[in-house]
A and B are shown apart, each in its own frame.
Chain A
Amino acid sequence: MASTLAIISSNKIDQRFALLRATRRKALVCYVTSGYPSEDQCLELLRGLETEGADIIEIGVPFSDPIADGPVIQDSSQKALAAGMTLEKTLDIVSRADLTVPVVLFTYLNPLLAAGPDVLERASAAGVDGILLTDLPVGADPDREKWLGDSDLAFIRLVAPTTPVDRMREIALNGSGFVYLISRLGVTGAQSSLASDLRETSDRLRSATDLPICVGFGISNGEQARAAASAADGVVVGSALVKAAGESIDKALSLTRSLRTALDS
């Protein structure tokens, strides 16, 4: 039933997961910090990620106080902010990138609130397909959650290893697109190994929802991506890509290529 719905959905994220399911592939979700390393390079990176096989691109609108992020994304956010990046400029970048793959806006609540009540329509018009807020857990602010849930954007919610199964169900019911499963306790950042209880957590989440599940936080190479994807419908790679992009766009793209290859093998 979920897949039938997905096929007729007008949202590009749902369509992408329907396609992935039909071709039995796992989703590669790539995170970039908007405006990092520079506005032009970010644009080049977005287009390159699409070419190298990203299924979904998350673009992070930098926030001055990113409590859910580790050192790599903190640093990229600070640099992007110092160079003048904003939510408005991010929408402009998304619009100029004109991607075929779906785009998810990834940010904190405050920059979104400051952008005014029509920001969700403007994001949608710029080519954004979904939104993810790290500091708006389910039930925290029903009115604002309704505002987000009623928009055209898929509202991607997060599940943590600490989330009880009843709450997982509630989170899935109040989200769309996919469920973002945080792989381990902590903030974003590459790790040398996956959490040992990942499989257990994803099994619990699987029992709670039909939405696609993507695992993120700490995945940094092809081997980890493959292992994590075996417990889910896809993986999110963030800090490792941002770190590579800080060195060169080529490095970030070759990492993407190796992630794609690992997921498809």
Chain B
Amino acid sequence: MHAAPEKTMTAISTHDRFGPFGGRYVPETLIPALDELDSAFDSAMADAEFVRTVDEMLSTYVGRPSPLSDAPRLSEQVGTSVFLKREDLNHTGAHKINNTVGQALLAMRMGKRRIIAETGAGQHGVATATVCARFGLDCTVYMGEEDIRRQSLNVYRMKLMGAKVVPVSSGTKTLKDATSEAIRDWVTNVNDSYYIIGSVVGPAPYPRMVREFQSVIGREAREQMLNRTGKLPTAVVACVGGGSNAMGIFHPFEDDRDVKLIGVEAAGHGLESGEHSASLLRGKPGVLHGTLSYLLQDGDGQVHPAHSISAGLDYPGVGPEHAWLKDSGRAEYVAVTDEDALRGFATLSRLEGIIPALETSHAIAWVIDNASRWIKSDSVLICVSGRGDKDMAQIAEMGFLDR
């Protein structure tokens, strides 16, 4: 690693760290709030009543458990059994709501009624606006101007549910800058506001907390696979932006050492083009938004803008637990270009009647393009993190059907 001093690369995971990654690199003002959040989260999770309330919301409002679909025509093309964990069927159309339900209930338990969130694709913003409407909480969502343009439908949805959407015009005008602006709001209003981070990023305890709220994906999928096939999958594949749907489906399989965990990053215009979002494959360890993890950056430690066709993967950092899963060798990380993701998008739509989000399409495309890795008796579990409705305007604008 390039960061000084070398000896800090210890491999011990602590409460705040995943190996050497994670931590709390934030302005002093936030430290007492993070301490408070850390203990509030632990005490909530130890409280059977809180856990029951989360589960009930997930079942009666989100629609969990989400189904596990087999994918007969895709399986035939790939030459192995492919199963799809259908997070696209959740209320609001993506996995993001698993986390916002948990965090909103935690915020209320902590007596906070003003919610702040950042959003990229708008999925996390919508999921936050949704639970805020449901619980009567005040909601402010920061969103980059570039993303507001790319995901106008989600902006409309958030506003319809009563959220205030604040455009962010600094820096790259995308998720990275929206996150910075949300942190600034939190530093300013820390006494009465709760910041719902949308992925397994940010300072501790967020990466651990978001993973716990998303782990319902993997817990259900593991049981569904066992019930359906009588065995565990050969591989679990998920797209990685900040990494929350991937952590959520990976985590319950982590101790199943024979199950391969594969995270698919966005290769954008290609890994060699410099225009991608492959933090794990092409980044170096560094500190952004309160956490030490792999980071796209230049030689001076300035954050390098990310690129992806999908706004939800367009982030130069990645959750610190993924950094550790990579370095410890437990998970493998790969990448898929914009072009290939579009093919994955079209393929799943045509073969299975499921229109995936562009983010998810990266995972689909990787499985299709790596058919030679599997034999017929294998089974591959893909996390369908979201549905593609939000991407229709962008896809139509590209003249996709005419190509």
Q: Flag whether B84 is at the interface (Cβ < 8 A).
A: no
Q: Flag whether A222 is at the interface (Cβ < 8 A).
A: no
Number of interface residues of B (CB under 8 A): 43
Do residues B28 and A141 form an inter-chain contact, with CB atoms below 8 A?
no
Report A-chain residues with C-beta under 8 Å of the C-beta of B289: 65, 67
Report B-chain residues with C-beta under 8 Å of the C-beta of A23: none
Q: With the chains together, A180 CA to B6 CA distance in Å?
A: 29
Q: Flag whether A155 is at the interface (Cβ < 8 A).
A: no
Number of A-B contacts (CB under 8 A): 141
Q: Which residue of A lies closest to B301 (CB)?
A: A114
What's the nearest-Cβ distance from chain B to residue A46, in Å? Answer: 21
Q: Which of B32, B191, B295 contacts A163 (CB 8 A)?
A: B32
What's the nearest-Cβ distance from chain A to residue B283, in Å? Answer: 12
Q: Which of A68, A118, A167 contacts B187 (CB 8 A)?
A: A68
- The range of chain A's interface size is 35 or more
Report A-chain residues with C-beta under 8 Å of the C-beta of B32: 162-164, 167
Do residues A167 and B31 form an inter-chain contact, with CB atoms below 8 A?
yes
What's the nearest-Cβ distance from chain A to residue B140, in Å? Answer: 15
| Binary contact readout A76-95 vs B (1 if CB under 8 angstroms, 0 otherwise) | 00100100001110000000
Do residues A137 and B26 form an inter-chain contact, with CB atoms below 8 A?
yes
Q: Which of B6, B25, B177 contacts A135 (CB 8 A)?
A: B25
Q: Flag whether B286 is at the interface (Cβ < 8 A).
A: yes
Q: Which of A68, A114, A141 contacts B27 (CB 8 A)?
A: A68
Do residues B23 and A67 form an inter-chain contact, with CB atoms below 8 A?
no
Do residues A135 and B26 form an inter-chain contact, with CB atoms below 8 A?
yes
Do residues A70 and B300 form an inter-chain contact, with CB atoms below 8 A?
no
Q: Flag whether B353 is at the interface (Cβ < 8 A).
A: no
Q: Flag whether A17 is at the interface (Cβ < 8 A).
A: no
Do residues A135 and B27 form an inter-chain contact, with CB atoms below 8 A?
yes
Interface residues of B in 293-307 (CB under 8 A from A): 295, 297, 299-303
**Residue among A78, A86, A114 with most chain B CB within 10 A:** A114
Q: Flag whether B3 is at the interface (Cβ < 8 A).
A: yes
A-B contact pairs, 24 of them (CB 8 A): A64-B171, A65-B176, A67-B180, A67-B289, A81-B302, A88-B300, A109-B25, A113-B286, A113-B287, A114-B286, A115-B300, A115-B301, A118-B4, A138-B28, A140-B24, A140-B26, A141-B23, A147-B5, A158-B27, A162-B30, A167-B31, A182-B28, A185-B29, A186-B188
Closest 5 pairs (CB-CB, A-B): A114-B301, A117-B4, A160-B29, A186-B188, A113-B3
Chain B residues within CB distance 8 Å of chain A: 2-8, 23-33, 170-171, 176-177, 180, 183-184, 187-191, 286-290, 292, 295, 297, 299-303
